Structure 1
């Protein structure tokens, strides 16, 4: 399997992500695709990582609030070989358990046995996804050996998420192209594939209370959200072999919820974990949107 990590101006986060991959999946190829970082600390980390792995500097502009993420995902897909699975992670994520050759082979066999399978999520379920009763419906399919999500609305993450595992040959067979925006890709995947499969024992997760960008910028609203939530780098502990095996073999199958299965290495964080500095603060999101709109008028 080849792992692609997408990066922009979060040097300490990227360093943590790369170290976790090197520790947990040393047998996997690793490519970092950076979206034109100009932060000196991030440039330093990229240079150091470039001594051990492939680093690609992409500055494609998509016009979307997430900058060039989806353009860079498409670039990674085009770089990928048909001979190995691909896994997409981001600099504010990390691996949380060792990934064995057996794990990778089982993933490969899942694609081989399930022709409608397009995407597998390598991430744990976010506790925030269980907050609303309408979104709690996760069902385990024993025949497929995966969890699937059945929210009442066609939510992003039901068929597609930016953190993913895929078989390049399958995507090329349906002429797949990564569009701009998770919801757009979610609707597209819903027409072609089954729901996004979720592993019994995932191996990666977004870091809680992380820092963020919108369109490569930080509005005053976003900065306030980061300050009020005490956002920063909160790495996750690597799971023990016993805990991983318990998830894999639990009967009945146990839904892998991040807050229940993972721990941070520093500080105690309020649950459910937040992954967006403005999460749950609609007024901050409105201010952020207004500020970015005004900036656009004068840029």
Structure 2
């Protein structure tokens, strides 16, 4: 089993999945790639999965997922078991991208950090979302070494001890009795109990793409469709850093908070800043309409089963 396995969780977004996979192949050529597809129905996605099977492992879901997140957390548990022999596992999703070359020596440093910190469970590889700073500041706390920091707990439900995008040592999780729960807050509480605070990177290597189309429970409600139209959701991939960009970023020092909008550029059109990552963000009325339709669907399914 390889030293680094990148697991990409996907559903019905061929263009985004292809971009994510190709970014891993270009920036982390030594990594094994596994795509956990949540039974995509889109023909383009199905064709791409067949194409990608020649250089990625394609894993079908074994368990039916929840309404909101589909089979995401079930697939995470499958990934933990399937790749327990890997030295590291990195979780990404189809709407994310690796934005810079990541040399194998970086994982040597990550391995050293894990070995020197027995209670460390997770490292977060992504930039800070600028929209999150509107709700609360991100206060960096000193971490082990000068390339990592902790994030001060300011009361958020997730992100202090756990994120769905993480690097971890699978056997450490298994020995601790870890099992992925069905939400980020539940996993954050579990990580707090078993490990403690999650480490952040001063120079991250991955990020969610801004303003992407979304699914909730594998369906698009009317509220979600209207929100996507209002936000002009689309495909906004990031420009991949050159080696000189990395050198320049390191030369600026490690203590500039890595906010995505300050460090990353989209290849072509750039959505308005701060970027959002859920079409319903900031659209209270459409969010209410979306939640109402989801609730009605749940009620109807219960009635049908009776």
TM-score (ref. length: structure 2): 0.93
Q: Deviations over 1:95-140 (max 9, x none)?
A: 00111110111111111111111100111111112223x4332234
The runs of 5 or more residues in structure 1 that have no matched partner are none
The structure 2 residue matched to 1:34, chosen from 33, 37, 40, is 37
Query: Cα 1:192–1:112, aligned 2, differ >3 Å: closer, same or farther?
Result: same
- 1-structure distance, mates of 2:61, 2:151: 33
State how 1:105-120 maps to structure 2 within 5 Å.
105-120=108-123
Cα pair 2:113 2:144 within 8 Å, conserved:
no
Shift of 1:241: 1.7
Q: Deviations over 1:152-208 (max 9, x none)?
A: 214311111100000012101111000000110011111122211111211110000
Partner-residue secondary structure (3-state), 1:135: coil
- 1-structure distance, mates of 2:270, 2:38: 32
State the match for 1:219 in structure 2. 221
The structure 2 residue matched to 1:88, chosen from 69, 80, 91, is 91
Q: Deviations over 1:263-288 (max 9, x none)?
A: 00121211111100001122222211
- 2-structure distance, mates of 1:180, 1:142: 30
1:138 is the counterpart of 2:140: yes
User: Please, which moves more after superposition, 283-292 or 245-254?
Assistant: 245-254
- 1-structure distance, mates of 2:98, 2:181: 26
- 2-structure distance, mates of 1:66, 1:247: 35
State the match for 1:7 in structure 2. 10
Shift of 1:141: 2.8
Partner-residue secondary structure (3-state), 1:104: helix
- 1-structure distance, mates of 2:191, 2:106: 25
- 2-structure distance, mates of 1:172, 1:100: 27
Shift of 1:44: 0.8
The alignment covers a number of residue pairs equal to 298
- 2-structure distance, mates of 1:79, 1:63: 21
User: Please, which moves more after superposition, 221-230 or 240-249?
Assistant: 240-249
Cα pair 1:36 1:59 within 8 Å, conserved:
no
The structure 2 residue matched to 1:76, chosen from 56, 79, 84, is 79
State how 1:144-159 maps to structure 2 within 5 Å.
145-159=147-161
Partner-residue secondary structure (3-state), 2:131: helix
Cα pair 2:147 2:203 within 8 Å, conserved:
no
State how 1:132-281 maps to structure 2 within 5 Å.
132=135, 134-141=136-143, 143=145, 145-251=147-253, 253-281=255-283
Query: Cα 1:254–1:242, aligned 2, differ >3 Å: closer, same or farther?
Result: farther
State the match for 2:28 in structure 1. 25
The structure 1 residue matched to 2:284, chosen from 261, 269, 282, is 282
TM-score (ref. length: structure 1): 0.95
State the match for 1:50 in structure 2. 53
Cα pair 2:99 2:207 within 8 Å, conserved:
yes
- 1-structure distance, mates of 2:144, 2:113: 13
The runs of 5 or more residues in structure 2 that have no matched partner are 302-306
